[in-house]
Chains A and B, each alone.
Chain A
Amino acid sequence: MDMTFLLQLLINGLVVGCIYSLVATGFVIIYKATSALNLAQGEFLMVGAYICLDLMTRHNIPFFQSFLITLAFSAVLGLIIERVILRPLIGSHLISVIMVTLGLSSILKALVQLAYGTDTIPFPEVFPPEPVQIGPIPVSQGYLYAIGCVTLLVTLLTLFFKYSKTGVAMRATASNQQVSLSMGISVKKMFALSWAISAIVSAVGGILLGTIRGGIDMSLSFMGLKVLPVVILGGLDSILGAIVGGVIIGVLENLSGGYVDPFVGGGAKEVAPYIALILILMFKPYGLFGKKKIERV
């Protein structure tokens, strides 16, 4: 149990946590705009990873181009799903919307299985394999790229929601739909946009995960569930919360994997986030950054 081991665990946790943050951000964007929980978030991630892989291996398109095409594809996928499946449900019970996303997750999973089978497919080497020495520990370059990529994307999203007219309008829609309508905002467009952004963000997460793991399979879709404790820790409606929550859960998972697993014979890594989830719900039900309603007296 030396220092290097701890640092290694922390870095692993940070990288995985970054990806959690990304997927959680996608989750929060949809929740904020449409107040629906998208249980197919993990499948968006999986589809993104498979598409990118397919472009690279079967069509021999270089990584960067494949990456961009995948993002475009995901945006369109998000738009279509919103238009065809979710828009007709506007105004119906929230629980039906959530059930539909559950159904959607099964459909997407089945489609991917149909097209690519259930075996693990190796992901081509994208980043140079030789690790970079940071202090005492070697860190693989893929990790650094992943962290950089997530930081960039999250910064862009933050700027978008803070300063762009469309971003501010999306937040307005999340805050009050009828008033937004009265401002001339097309609420339907904002819904569609939030699904598209969410799908893009998840696809990036999926691709990064693929490059880090070196191979992808159906288990990628579990990320959707992994992200639930993250968003609940951060607060369901807070993007900042999703980011902080993602890193915390990622690190927590790796630390318990490294230090607790040897004593209990494995499994602590998988269970830790959910134990944290229960504790959070007991003591801070709105999460770390969740919105408490402003009450004027």
Chain B
Amino acid sequence: MLKISNAEVIYNKVILVLKGLTMHVPEGKIVALLGANGAGKSTTLKAISGLLKSEDGEVTDGSIEFMGERISNLNPEEIVRKGIFQVMEGRRVFDDMTVEENIIVGGHTRKDKAGFKRDKDLVYDYFPRLRERRNQLSGYLSGGEQQMLAIGRALMARPKLMLLDEPSLGIAPLLVQEIFQLIKKINSEEKTTILLVEQNANVAFGISDHAYIMEGGRIVLSGTAEQMKANEDVKEFYLGLSEGADKKNYRELKQYRRRKRWL
């Protein structure tokens, strides 16, 4: 469905952030993209959704194809109309507008009135807490509720591909579980393909079919969620598991970089 080949992204004409990224998101699946801070995960999403432009970034090389069509460097509104919707990092609800108004804005590109109403109910069915608070200003919602609103708002656009940027960020662990279950449910019931950027590898592997690991603007490892969970390096660096973890000392810590097999 989505194919990125050798994409290169440069900000402000000088800062090279993506250095030849290649990945593939198959239709109907959940794909996780993991990596440390500054690896270029958010940049990858913004390159797909076209939001790079508003930050002076540009795809300078390689290509991004969606359903066989080149979409690199299109305007974000065209990309939304093609069926790709990005839920930005940190929720970003319109805090001076009500929950309901936020949901209406999410469906901005929709033309069909009947479907619009039906989907509004659908969003409230997925997230009953939002229905209770539909007339409240969304700025007063809790972090978890705001994340639900951000995802619900995205559903309104009926995207074929939803890009989720760190939905677990700053949210209570219990709510994280709930939200990820809902993401899984949306994926299986609405047939929405999902590309999920996460730092929380554990929950991400829990719902995804396939995962990529990014470092320094490139993909360094990929595989099914099962393969990833079994990979020694992933265990060590992303899941925080290793044999004899309690016996760690500083000398061993120093070896971290050398021990990564993909470098």
Closest to B87 in A: A182
Q: Is the CB of A181 within 8 A of B76?
A: yes
Q: Is the CB of B140 within 8 A of A184?
A: no
Residues in B with CB closer than 8 Å to A182 are 49, 51, 76, 80, 85-88
Q: Is the CB of A168 within 8 A of B140?
A: no
Within residues 49 to 66 of chain A, which ones have a CB less than 8 A from any CB in chain B? none
Residues in A with CB closer than 8 Å to B54 are 177-178, 181
The segment out of B6-14, B20-28, B93-101, B237-245 that lies at the interface is B93-101
A-B contact count (CB 8 A): 77
Closest to A172 in B: B105
Whether A169 is near chain B, meaning CB under 8 Å from some CB there, is: yes
Residues in B with CB closer than 8 Å to A185 are 77, 105, 108
Closest to A171 in B: B97
Within residues 55 to 81 of chain B, which ones have a CB less than 8 A from any CB in chain A? 55, 75-77, 79-81
Closest to B143 in A: A296
Whether A176 is near chain B, meaning CB under 8 Å from some CB there, is: yes
From B75, B139, B143, B153, A183 is in contact (CB under 8 Å) with B153
From A165, A168, A181, A294, B51 is in contact (CB under 8 Å) with A181
Cα-based distance from A176 to B96 in the complex (angstroms): 10
Whether A291 is near chain B, meaning CB under 8 Å from some CB there, is: yes
Whether B137 is near chain A, meaning CB under 8 Å from some CB there, is: yes
Size band of the B side of the interface? 20 to 34
Count of A interface residues, CB-CB < 8 Å = 20
Closest to B163 in A: A182
Distance of B227 from chain A, by nearest CB (Å): 32
Q: Is the CB of A184 within 8 A of B104?
A: no
Within residues 153 to 176 of chain A, which ones have a CB less than 8 A from any CB in chain B? 165, 168-169, 171-172, 175-176
Whether A152 is near chain B, meaning CB under 8 Å from some CB there, is: no
Whether B157 is near chain A, meaning CB under 8 Å from some CB there, is: yes
Cα-based distance from A125 to B14 in the complex (angstroms): 65
Closest to A166 in B: B108
Whether A96 is near chain B, meaning CB under 8 Å from some CB there, is: no
Whether B109 is near chain A, meaning CB under 8 Å from some CB there, is: yes
Cα-based distance from A182 to B108 in the complex (angstroms): 11
Whether B106 is near chain A, meaning CB under 8 Å from some CB there, is: yes
Residues in B with CB closer than 8 Å to A175 are 94-97
From A168, A179, A291, B104 is in contact (CB under 8 Å) with A168
Whether B92 is near chain A, meaning CB under 8 Å from some CB there, is: yes
Residues in B with CB closer than 8 Å to A180 are 105
Most buried by A among B51, B97, B105, B109: B105
Q: Is the CB of B137 within 8 A of A294?
A: yes
Q: Is the CB of B81 within 8 A of A184?
A: yes
Q: Is the CB of A169 within 8 A of B88?
A: no
Distance of A18 from chain B, by nearest CB (Å): 27
Residues in A with CB closer than 8 Å to B101 are 168, 171-172
Q: Is the CB of B104 within 8 A of A165?
A: yes
Q: Is the CB of B94 within 8 A of A172?
A: yes
Cα-based distance from A169 to B104 in the complex (angstroms): 9
Closest to A181 in B: B76
Whether A186 is near chain B, meaning CB under 8 Å from some CB there, is: yes
Residues in B with CB closer than 8 Å to A178 are 51, 54-55, 88, 92
Residues in B with CB closer than 8 Å to A184 are 76-77, 79-81, 85, 108-109, 157
Q: Is the CB of A296 within 8 A of B105?
A: no
Distance of A159 from chain B, by nearest CB (Å): 14
Cα-based distance from A169 to B101 in the complex (angstroms): 9
Cα-based distance from A181 to B109 in the complex (angstroms): 11
Per-position binary interface string of chain A over residues 176-201, scored 1 when its CB falls under 8 Å from any chain B CB and 0 otherwise = 11111111111000000000000000
Per-position binary interface string of chain B over residues 40-59, scored 1 when its CB falls under 8 Å from any chain A CB and 0 otherwise = 00000000011100110000
Cα-based distance from A184 to B86 in the complex (angstroms): 10
Starting from the known contacts A184-B81, A291-B96, 5 additional A-B residue pairs (CB-CB under 8 Å) come to: A165-B107, A168-B97, A171-B101, A184-B79, A296-B140
Please, could you name 16 A-B residue pairs with CB atoms under 8 Å apart, sorted by A?
Answer: A165-B107, A168-B105, A171-B101, A175-B94, A175-B96, A176-B92, A176-B94, A181-B50, A182-B76, A183-B105, A183-B108, A183-B153, A184-B77, A185-B108, A294-B95, A296-B143
Which A residues lie at the B interface, using CB under 8 A?
165, 168-169, 171-172, 175-186, 291, 294, 296
8 nearest A-B pairs in the assembled complex, by CB-CB distance: A184-B80, A294-B139, A184-B109, A175-B94, A172-B105, A181-B76, A179-B92, A184-B77
